[in-house]
Structure 1
């Protein structure tokens, strides 16, 4: 079946939705717990991951599966604003899922030696003392685990997953998966009474090799099972093991989407008959359930769907969910292709008289929040959720939502895997802080990796930003209405050369020339044939002047070049990010170029000494009595120490000729940005890269979200007030 639903850029409704949500209750993040805190000190640098998460019946403890570490982690959330490590239990295999019942944790553990010899077990572990109370051999590789509402049954999806490196990863690789149902007694599975439900021969796609992915119970003890690669759904009676219904998950036609990984955000594409290939599934009531349409093999429906258990499609999100992700700057272009933002997880829960649906996009690192109306769900908000949210659980009694975010970048010095907590309250959504309006074409306006910020010389609240080389085929100048809440990107103007998108740019700074055009700073990479240069564009974004760095500067080149630019009278000032070969330790250059005399010069700027990584500059912006400079380290999370705004007085900016002894300027600390970067209760991001003062003297800052690549995708955009 093919379902078609495309709302012409639901982004146009985003601002209205945010405004209405401000009058209703919404979720905001209150805490982030790096799960490495559950490791012994000597193991803290090792990879860990929070994947599937569950909450104890009293809502005081969270438990998550940790595949890399081979165990279960526990988090004490008695004080939800200050979660604490509560222990780790080695499972002797790879835990794939967890569920809770009474004072017990049930976990599926994969012990397969190979794809062709799958094995695993279901374990019951006490929440109190973490002792194992039972272990049931499942005869195959478990994936999802669920417990019935009345505590009588556990269901385990035995996936027996395929080898994706074999035969282009096509399904149809035996042994086949199946469903296992186990009776429970006081939360403990009765191993000898488990029932195996065969699911072969049901799906039209690789029916001989079902791969059950996710299971969930309704109040009637009916189990819904997703067969992801088979694009099929099955309803099973837990009591008897009888298959009550089964049907294809179907397909959807999509418009207004990006279909290629090509260094640009282009939402003029479409896709016909995209298979849903659902991952997670949750019942909404005894008749309806919602699926997250991840796509795994050939699918890519990009959204979520509500089904009746008899197979009828009751609601299809189409491109709507993804377009809201685009508007918030979270579209994962580098990982997209035909799968787009790839919704993977879904959670459902009731607080008071309101049922909520949470849709998790692993690639975009956000959670979409919806109210279940019984018909079309009502969009509430997008929540930022670390890197790669895999699962979430609602704790209705406390008005809390907890998410497990699986990606751990410890090996590369990046952000760790986190459990994040959100609370429902009366405050307006704190995130996103910056969203885009639809483009003039009506299509979504994509953005990300904002690397420089500038103000309009005449109009307060009107700002401009550029993106960096992450979008190598789409260098752009964005117009921002900073007076709106959240701030709005109202347009994007491509930077052109000879009528085509300019190549060989890495834009890191922007300043308005006061005549409708812009000066842009491009950070060079000689090893990648990207020149260190300053470019001028006219009001249409066409490059009409190029200022290449002079030989006196380039002979000392290192990789990290121009990171900001400002204009003082007839002189351009450029901040060089890090020390080059001729710079004394803990200094960098502020380079000048006199537009009238065409003379280059420079001064030296003193940077703080780095305790870890490096320290450099990210921005230079004109103030009334000097310039403001962002100085930052490249550290993230708990290691972040230097994210600061400094002031250099105007009379310090007396450039000397390049190659001569350069004067060292004095600086004055104006603002520590770390409290601003902690304000949303996530981890501290490393790249605060833009700052400017608008025409009324109000300061604004922005972070670079790295195009959502190995990043949370969060863009912080905030006002500092007058300085």
Structure 2
């Protein structure tokens, strides 16, 4: 099937689920910082990149280039991984694999792009010490171990400097593949075979840059030359047996413009695959992850015969499936979209599975590869931010991912290793999907939630991440996962409204909605209440009063509720006229058009800030979501409190405002930890009570921008 045809295949068909017993679910999350010794500065950047497992399946190793270490994890109990510490590598570890009780680590020691150098370090896993080192004569990027343990293959990339000639090839010296015999856990450095790859590719023939290697049962090495858009197969004798261009893909129904919209209606010119990761499926077939680097990246994966024949091309189909679960990285549209990074393959029982890692969408797609010519998408798993590597452990029913991004400097998630188990259970994730919408409805950044008019219906709104298409989504929460059934773009005079940051939504009782717009003076976004009709057309816009605007900050309206003809607006953080630790609940009487407010006392803040994210009404109470802005183990407050409606007696804004009493109803951190066994997400942003009185909660995934992209939507019960 051609890439052009695959781009039009329905997401519904691609997400046809296998039997329940075939489901993978996340069971544990391990922060890389846990491997730092007592007293170390855990604020330093760290990472988890390429990951491997010991033959007994009990120990994981991963490369951490920012720290220059090899990290070790005990997964004897995979649901409770334990740190085994770091091993200093005296250079930048780029890749590592295990043979017996020894790890073979590629270490980059280059002082410059023009004088690359590197080595293979041999680390004893029992003592966590380095035993030996082999000089490679260049910069290693990937290491593979032969299935029979008889040799190593190393892709010596000698990568180019992207700041020179706009990153164009050639930039010498050329890369090559190194083949090293192994006997009884020892590498024979003197017998290193240097396999030249010059003169093969049509692009930069004199400067091959091998990226990734893998070895099949016949002792053949497949190597991707990413920047050269070329693939070579090296025979067991160490000579190039075949080579061919990786080719191009024509993509249709994709988003190629980074413009703040999610519109899968464009076409891309023929795009070089520029494959990165590669994995043998058997002795005749391999799969490539078409990440792209210099001038390409076709957003998917390809299955080749080793003679270069394309057996299967995913085209835009995987990207569509990723968009359906809210993980599409819109800011990457004009570049490489979801950016497929690496590939893993393993048989679990009788079923062959291909695991396709998307770096920018932060997910792993699981394909049933019973028929290599027609892979079936079984699941998409949520990983941490920017997964780089994956390893399957079929003997233990496990899959492990290494997630390289460390956003700790900006208060975000740290680098993590995540473990998934194949279980006789339903898939836990996704909790929300647009699967089945035609045309495909892209979504994300859900910062507001309310109940719909129909039983089992919710309504959500996206925030300023998609500033060119502010949207209101209808959700059928009776299905599992819940399903987005439609989208209305908020319009002004028939055109998509601009300068909106919708952070709160509530029904007006007549089919329309009141929206809380969080302003930002620096971006000319007004702090306002907006009224839209059932079609999303703006009918009225009510600016916050001037006496309040005089004290504005960026952190404004975060929720809105309608109570007996009065709108109540939760302000996220203190403004200039608020005492520290108190925020306003604003009131606006729709009949008299008068403003008022009460003060709400926040929890004591820790390392981050404290604020409100939502307000909703049930019975005789207003419920608010209060949270800090911290992630993972650092998160301390993600809670729901309630205030009696009888206490909401607004006073004029120019006088003393009464402070309301609050009652804690639910600590959400246990929910956030247990729902998907991930780290605690930052942005609990939406709360709504359905027709049965149950509380629904949604998290904001920031449009997959410096985020894992996960959206959690769950029923928290009655909250009585």
Q: TM-score range, shorter-chain basis?
A: over 0.9
SS at match of 2:327: coil
* CA deviation vs aligned residue, 1:642-673 (integer Å, no higher than 9, x gap): 10111111101111111111111111111111
Aligned equivalents of 2:435 and 2:159: distance in 1?
42
SS at match of 1:658: coil
How many equivalent pairs are there? 716
Structure 1 residue 9, shift from structure 2 partner: 4.7
Q: For residues 185-200 of structure 1, what are the structure 2 equivalents within 5 Å? A: 185-200=183-198
* Structure 1 runs not aligned, ≥5 long: none
Contact in 2 for aligned 1:705/1:714 (Cα 8 Å): yes
Alignment correspondent of 1:684: 680
Alignment correspondent of 2:210: 212
* CA deviation vs aligned residue, 1:138-177 (integer Å, no higher than 9, x gap): 0111000000000111000010101111111112111111
Task: Give 2:255's match in structure 1, choosing from 251, 255, 258.
Answer: 258
Query: Do structure 1's residue 270 and structure 2's residue 273 form an aligned pair?
Result: no
Alignment correspondent of 1:33: 30
* CA deviation vs aligned residue, 1:249-295 (integer Å, no higher than 9, x gap): 11111111110111111111111311111000000001010000101
Aligned equivalents of 1:92 and 1:479: distance in 2?
54
SS at match of 1:42: coil
Aligned equivalents of 1:443 and 1:71: distance in 2?
47
SS at match of 1:46: coil
Q: TM-score, normalised by structure 1?
A: 0.97
SS at match of 1:36: helix
* CA deviation vs aligned residue, 1:589-626 (integer Å, no higher than 9, x gap): 10000000011011111110102211110000111112
Structure 1 residue 497, shift from structure 2 partner: 1.0
Q: TM-score, normalised by structure 2?
A: 0.98
Aligned equivalents of 1:191 and 1:591: distance in 2?
73
Q: For residues 544-583 of structure 1, what are the structure 2 equivalents within 5 Å? A: 544-583=539-578
* Structure 2 runs not aligned, ≥5 long: none
Task: Give 2:84's match in structure 1, choosing from 52, 63, 86.
Answer: 86
Task: Give 2:115's match in structure 1, choosing from 105, 114, 117.
Answer: 117
Contact in 2 for aligned 1:133/1:188 (Cα 8 Å): no
Structure 1 residues 221 and 672: CA distance shift in structure 2, 3 A:
same
Aligned equivalents of 2:3 and 2:579: distance in 1?
64
Aligned equivalents of 1:108 and 1:545: distance in 2?
62
Alignment correspondent of 1:152: 150
Query: Do structure 1's residue 323 and structure 2's residue 341 form an aligned pair?
Result: no
Aligned equivalents of 2:454 and 2:265: distance in 1?
33
Contact in 1 for aligned 2:7/2:252 (Cα 8 Å): no
Aligned equivalents of 2:534 and 2:186: distance in 1?
70
* CA deviation vs aligned residue, 1:172-201 (integer Å, no higher than 9, x gap): 111111111000011221000010010011
Alignment correspondent of 2:12: 12
Alignment correspondent of 1:623: 618
Aligned equivalents of 1:144 and 1:250: distance in 2?
22
Alignment correspondent of 2:689: 693
Query: Do structure 1's residue 245 and structure 2's residue 272 form an aligned pair?
Result: no
Alignment correspondent of 1:297: 294
Task: Give 1:396's match in structure 2, choosing from 394, 398, 415.
Answer: 394
Aligned equivalents of 1:293 and 1:545: distance in 2?
48
SS at match of 2:138: coil
Structure 1 residue 7, shift from structure 2 partner: 4.5
Alignment correspondent of 2:309: 312
Structure 1 residue 558, shift from structure 2 partner: 2.0
Query: Do structure 1's residue 376 and structure 2's residue 374 form an aligned pair?
Result: yes
Aligned equivalents of 1:9 and 1:230: distance in 2?
30
Alignment correspondent of 1:706: 702
* CA deviation vs aligned residue, 1:361-420 (integer Å, no higher than 9, x gap): 000000001111133111110111100000000111111111100000121121110011
SS at match of 2:40: helix
Structure 1 residue 22, shift from structure 2 partner: 5.2
* CA deviation vs aligned residue, 1:651-703 (integer Å, no higher than 9, x gap): 01111111111111111111111111112111101100000001221210000
Aligned equivalents of 1:22 and 1:629: distance in 2?
40
Structure 1 residues 21 and 698: CA distance shift in structure 2, 3 A:
farther
Runs of 4+ in 1 over 3 A off after TM superposition: 1-5
Task: Give 1:715's match in structure 2, choosing from 695, 711, 718.
Answer: 711
Task: Give 1:469's match in structure 2, choosing from 464, 469, 473.
Answer: 464
Contact in 1 for aligned 2:321/2:435 (Cα 8 Å): no
Aligned equivalents of 2:386 and 2:710: distance in 1?
12
SS at match of 1:415: coil
Cα RMSD (Å)? 1.3
Q: For residues 54-69 of structure 1, what are the structure 2 equivalents within 5 Å? A: 54-69=52-67
Alignment correspondent of 2:337: 340
Moved more, 27-36 or 4-13: 4-13
Aligned equivalents of 1:444 and 1:255: distance in 2?
13
Structure 1 residues 690 and 132: CA distance shift in structure 2, 3 A:
same
Alignment correspondent of 1:407: 405
Contact in 2 for aligned 1:5/1:254 (Cα 8 Å): no
SS at match of 2:6: coil
Aligned equivalents of 2:12 and 2:353: distance in 1?
23
Alignment correspondent of 2:649: 654
Aligned equivalents of 1:13 and 1:649: distance in 2?
48
Aligned equivalents of 1:436 and 1:346: distance in 2?
26
Query: Do structure 1's residue 222 and structure 2's residue 220 form an aligned pair?
Result: yes
Structure 1 residues 493 and 3: CA distance shift in structure 2, 3 A:
closer
Moved more, 97-106 or 334-343: 334-343
Aligned equivalents of 1:363 and 1:8: distance in 2?
22
Contact in 2 for aligned 1:123/1:134 (Cα 8 Å): yes
